[in-house]
């Protein structure tokens, strides 16, 4: 909560945690607490939960709030806490956002409503409803058209930014790099932008981004955080070394549907008790596990 009054301080690698489940599919609070501690020890600049990597669509609102409660308590103000609170339903989004505000979140990440494919005017009204309900809480728009089937236009983001002072930034998970630039041009270069595409994290910094919410931080948190730090401290060569060294990890994450590969690896490492993912996802197939092993070997130098 100590970063809520200064969202511009929320920078660098914001780790989007997997949500650990027990072997029978229940929320594994012990593993979740351990993940938070490990991420902070490894140098992650912030923590997020409830984003795409956290399987929010497979959890009830009550389970998502329970996970937020665990993470907020473990973070304890040491780094920014930016939970995902979006849903396909407005009432659920408002309930989750209210819980995040009460638990001390520094900002919230609100995904574009999925499946319905709303128009740009509908998206403006959706985000306006959330921002208007929580005027003291920084709101970060989460654009991930590959999962939601809707792409929020730069002009819509600009309109939201001009209308609602608490809409402070956007997480862009699109491979259209021109889109990144147009959003910043529309909203102003002081608008906060994070990349959710692993191999666009470093390039985004060059055009004014403030960091990344990269699933790669689940497996290589120190390397992802160092890539940001190296860049902002002027060591561009080291940042580039890490960018290219992270390629195998980025590929590993999507051998099969994220977050199944990451959970499989974390369970093998003993970081979480089980690699369980909830339906409709499945744990990696034999072919998938073989490919994961190859990519792990290729990326071993940056895994600590």
Phi then psi for 153, rounded to 5 degrees? -75, 150
* DSSP string across 140-198: EEEE-HHHHS----HHHHHHHHHH-TTEEEEEE--S-HHHHHHHHHHH-TTSEEEE-SG
Could you give the residue numbers annotated as active site? Answer: 142, 171
Q: 244-280 b/e with 16+ CB inside 10 Å = b?
A: ebbebbbbbbebbebbbbbbbbbbeeebbbbbbbeee
Instruction: Say how far apart CA 49 and CA 7 lie, in whole Å.
Output: 17
> Between β-strands 192-195 and 211-212, what pairing exists: parallel, antiparallel or unpaired?
parallel
Phi then psi for 132, rounded to 5 degrees? -70, -30
Neighbours of 133 (CB within 10 A): 15
């Amino acid at each position: 909560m100590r970063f809520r009054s200064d969202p511009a301080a929320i920078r660098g690698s914001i780790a989007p945690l997997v949500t650990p489940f027990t072997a029978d599919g229940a929320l594994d609070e012990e593993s979740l607490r351990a993940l938070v501690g490990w991420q902070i020890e490894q140098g992650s600049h912030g923590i997020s939960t409830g984003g795409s990597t956290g399987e929010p669509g497979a959890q009830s609102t009550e389970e998502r709030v329970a996970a937020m409660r665990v993470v907020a308590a473990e973070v304890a103000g040491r780094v920014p806490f930016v939970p995902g609170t979006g849903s396909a339903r407005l009432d659920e989004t408002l309930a989750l956002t209210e819980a995040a505000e009460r638990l001390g979140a520094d900002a919230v990440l609100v995904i574009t409503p999925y499946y319905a494919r709303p128009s740009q005017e509908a998206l403006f009204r959706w985000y306006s409803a959330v921002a208007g309900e929580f005027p003291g809480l920084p709101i970060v728009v989460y654009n991930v058209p590959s999962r939601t089937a809707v792409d929020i236009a730069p002009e819509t983001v600009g309109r939201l930014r001009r209308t609602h002072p608490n809409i402070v930034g956007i997480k862009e998970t699109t491979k259209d790099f021109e889109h990144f630039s147009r959003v910043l041009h529309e909203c102003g270069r002081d608008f906060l932008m994070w990349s959710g595409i692993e191999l666009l994290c470093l390039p985004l910094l060059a055009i004014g981004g403030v960091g990344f919410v990269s699933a790669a931080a689940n497996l290589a948190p120190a390397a992802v955080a160092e890539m940001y730090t190296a860049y902002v401290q002027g060591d561009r060569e080291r940042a580039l070394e890490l960018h290219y060294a992270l390629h195998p990890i980025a590929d590993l994450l999507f051998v099969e549907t994220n977050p199944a590969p990451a959970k499989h690896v974390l369970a093998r490492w003993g970081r979480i008790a089980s690699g369980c993912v909830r339906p409709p996802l499945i744990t990696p197939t034999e072919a998938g596990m073989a490919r994961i092993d190859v990519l792990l070997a290729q990326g071993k130098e940056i895994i600590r």
